[in-house]
């Protein structure tokens, strides 16, 4: 299939979906109204609850949910073929992922911007608050600890990205100050900030930064320490000081990167060499160690299709900043569609761009199907992060070179892009973990743990404990990483379950828009969890084996427990005594 046509069809599908199904959800299912009370206005504290312009909160929300997920997931998942990967990130995104994100955002906004675990306690029963808290806390703990290592790996692989990524911080602070304190023009301030960011990328390409070992701590461990210290400060500051403006300018970095990839696709497609999909539509010659497509592709390709982490952002930072209900369509549904569009471009990079030229260590250059099969000659999921993102960077640089962008510049741009997105996810994750800890402490009446400094300290220290549990390299979270994909998609299932119960309370058959995706994800995630448990039991290392088996089984049992509780509540007629409370009253 022509690569350019594939990109246009998928992009057009997302646009049509936004203006049809998205608007249907907004008007008929959730009935958004501009005059409805929203937590950003009602609870405005200038720190976490701040009414924000739609374009700015879109930038924050999008970069927070994206991270490296829509890059790494499709880059691995294409091993089963480009066709199933494309179908999952289009159909799954439109009818499952975007509905999940949008629904979680609206339900949280109608419940004082509370987390999904608190909302679950309201629509199911108080017991599930602790079940959900356990799953959410563990998921965020792994994300925070692992993303420190991810960013460290990106800095090591792309040393030219270090200076641009860190200089984004003062640029973001200056942007926030100009817009909120000096009431500067948002378009002008944005243009200056983005220009400054790209100047920094130019500086970084000339001044690569590498750090070695200090006090016996290797560079990955040092970066993890530095990043966790940074996130403590970033997560306690008002959102308008750093988090929001940094995410906003990173969103512009994404828009520019996606524009360059579109231009590269067009230029390469029209060139003499052409841009053919060299990856097989369906790969029937899988390398040894590759798990079966059912159910594992749906777990590995999460961001870009559906991801439980998104429900944490949609019920964490974003509902506290959306200025009016109708904005949530653009922020919740629209940002997920854009993430799907990014995943499509990644699939094109690794499925077609890599075929333009793949340079081996010995200097040999492979092209066409030979290049793709060499890159995917072994199970990509077992490789380290640099190997997983290498085909994306190579393919993107090849395509951008088609319109004259030097390969070295393209590689630097992609390195900064990946590191920046990982950084925004890390910032947001620590802040959300702080919310979750504070809410639970408030429920348990542990007053000293409800303030943002103490809760953030607990969030950072627990992540540090996990990161350094196996040594100074800071890679302890890698022990639990095999659980994350399943836990993440299980979280999406549980979030859909909560939204379904909310819609069930409204009467009629509205709940089907989330109930059907929920049932599909329930089957897939439980299937994958059982298969993973079998794989863990077969491991040789007894410590790793029982750690994963016990924690995985615990998550599995908690999720089943919550599902049973939800089914019991679901069967109660709306309005029956003790079954529900009105959705807009305080929790």
Residue spans of the domains in the chain: they are: 3-570
Q: How far is Cα 377 from Cα 473, in angstroms, rounded to an integer?
A: 29
Range in 18-27, 306-315, 387-396, 429-438 the model is least confident about? 387-396
Above 50 in pLDDT, residue 576?
no
For residue 151, give both structure tokens.
């960013």
Q: Does residue 359 sit in helix, strand or coil? A: strand
For residue 543, give both structure tokens.
């410590």
Q: Model confidence over 80-132: pLDDT tens digits?
A: 999 999 999 999 999 999 999 999 999 999 999 999 989 998 998 888 888 88
Q: Model confidence over 514-565: pLDDT tens digits?
A: 999 999 999 999 999 999 999 999 998 888 899 999 999 988 898 888 888 8
Confidence band, pLDDT 50/70/90 cuts, at residue 585: very low
Closest listed residue to residue 513, CA positions, set 96, 81, 233 = 96
Closest listed residue to residue 535, CA positions, set 296, 284, 306 = 296
Q: Note the pLDDT of residue 573.
A: 55
Confidence band, pLDDT 50/70/90 cuts, at residue 581: very low
Q: Tokens 């990328």 map to which residue?
A: 201
Q: Note the pLDDT of residue 295.
A: 94
For residue 556, give both structure tokens.
């599995």
Q: Does residue 366 sit in helix, strand or coil? A: strand
Cβ partners under 8 Å of residue 303, min gap 6: 65, 66, 67, 69, 70, 73, 309, 310, 339, 343
For residue 447, give both structure tokens.
């007053």
The number of residues making up the chain comes to 587
Q: How far is Cα 211 from Cα 398, in angstroms, rounded to an integer?
A: 29
Confidence band, pLDDT 50/70/90 cuts, at residue 1: low
What integer best gives the mean pLDDT of the chain? Answer: 91
Q: How far is Cα 174 from Cα 390, in angstroms, rounded to an integer?
A: 34
DSSP 8-state code for residue 437: H
Cβ partners under 8 Å of residue 205, min gap 6: 160, 408, 409, 412
Confidence band, pLDDT 50/70/90 cuts, at residue 144: very high
Q: Model confidence over 248-285: pLDDT tens digits?
A: 999 998 889 889 999 999 999 998 888 999 999 999 99
Q: Model confidence over 158-197: pLDDT tens digits?
A: 888 899 999 999 999 999 999 999 889 999 999 999 999 9
Average pLDDT estimate for 130-155: 87
- Residue 334 near residue 317 (C-beta atoms within 8 A): no
Q: Note the pLDDT of residue 179.
A: 92
- Residue 201 near residue 167 (C-beta atoms within 8 A): no
* CATH fold for domain 3-570: Amino acid/polyamine transporter I (1.20.1740)
Q: Tokens 């979680």 map to which residue?
A: 104
Q: How far is Cα 278 from Cα 369, in angstroms, rounded to an integer?
A: 5
Confidence band, pLDDT 50/70/90 cuts, at residue 417: confident
Q: Model confidence over 210-236: pLDDT tens digits?
A: 888 888 899 989 999 999 999 999 999
Average pLDDT estimate for 318-331: 97
How do strand 358-359 and strand 365-366 relate by DSSP bridges?
antiparallel
């Amino acid at each position: 299939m022509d690569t350019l046509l594939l990109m246009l069809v998928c992009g057009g599908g997302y646009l049509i979906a936004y203006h049809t199904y998205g608007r249907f959800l907004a008007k008929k299912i959730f009935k958004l109204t501009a005059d409805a009370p929203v937590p950003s206005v009602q609870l405005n504290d200038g720190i976490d609850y701040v009414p924000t312009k739609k374009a700015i909160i879109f930038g924050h929300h999008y970069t927070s949910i994206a991270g490296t997920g829509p890059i790494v997931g499709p880059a691995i998942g294409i091993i089963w073929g480009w066709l199933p990967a494309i179908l999952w990130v289009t159909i799954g995104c439109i009818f499952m992922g975007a509905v999940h994100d949008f629904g979680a955002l609206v339900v949280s906004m109608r419940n004082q911007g509370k987390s999904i675990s608190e909302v679950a306690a309201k629509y199911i029963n108080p017991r599930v608050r602790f079940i959900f808290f356990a799953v959410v806390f563990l998921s965020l703990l792994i994300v925070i600890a692992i993303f420190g290592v991810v960013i460290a790996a990106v800095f090591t692989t792309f040393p030219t990205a270090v200076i641009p990524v860190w200089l984004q911080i003062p640029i973001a602070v200056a942007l926030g100050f100009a817009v909120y304190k000096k009431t500067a023009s948002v378009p002008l301030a944005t243009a200056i900030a983005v220009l400054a960011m790209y100047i920094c990328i130019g500086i970084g390409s000339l001044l690569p930064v590498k750090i070695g070992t200090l006090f016996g701590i290797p560079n990955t461990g040092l970066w993890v320490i530095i990043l966790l210290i940074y996130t403590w400060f970033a997560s306690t500051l008002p959102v308008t000081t750093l988090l929001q403006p940094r995410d906003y300018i990173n969103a512009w970095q994404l828009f520019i990167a996606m524009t360059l990839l579109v231009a590269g696709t067009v230029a390469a497609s029209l060139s003499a060499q052409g841009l053919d999909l060299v990856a097989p539509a369906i790969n029937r010659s899988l390398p040894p160690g590759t798990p079966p497509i059912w159910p594992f592709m749906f777990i590995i390709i999460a961001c870009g299709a559906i991801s439980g982490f998104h429900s944490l952002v949609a019920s964490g930072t974003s509902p506290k900043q959306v200025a009016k209900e109708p904005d949530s369509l653009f922020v919740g549904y629209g940002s997920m569609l854009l993430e799907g569009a990014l995943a499509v471009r990644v699939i094109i990079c690794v499925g077609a761009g890599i075929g333009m030229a793949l340079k081996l260590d010995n200097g040999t250059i492979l092209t066409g199907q030979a290049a793709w099969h060499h890159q995917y000659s072994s199970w990509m999921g077992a490789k380290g992060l640099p190997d997983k993102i290498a085909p994306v960077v190579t393919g993107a640089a090849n395509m951008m070179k088609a319109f004259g962008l030097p390969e070295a510049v393209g590689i630097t741009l992609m390195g900064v892009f990946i590191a920046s997105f990982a950084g925004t996810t890390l910032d947001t994750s620590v802040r959300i973990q702080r919310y979750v800890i504070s809410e639970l402490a408030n429920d348990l009446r542990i007053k000293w743990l409800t303030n943002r400094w103490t809760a953030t300290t607990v969030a950072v220290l627990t992540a540090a404990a996990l990161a350094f549990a196996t040594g100074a390299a800071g890679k302890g979270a890698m022990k639990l990483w095999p659980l994350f994909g399943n836990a993440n998609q299980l979280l999406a299932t549980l979030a859909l379950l909560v939204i379904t119960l909310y819609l069930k309370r409204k009467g009629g058959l509205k709940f089907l828009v989330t109930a059907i995706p929920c049932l599909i994800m329930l089957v897939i995630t439980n299937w994958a969890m059982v298969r993973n448990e079998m794989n863990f039991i077969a491991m040789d290392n007894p410590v790793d084996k029982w750690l994963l088996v016990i924690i995985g089984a615990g998550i599995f049992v908690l999720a089943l427990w919550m599902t049973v509780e939800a089914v019991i509540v679901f069967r109660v007629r709306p309005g029956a005594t003790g079954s529900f409370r009105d959705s807009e009253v305080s929790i």
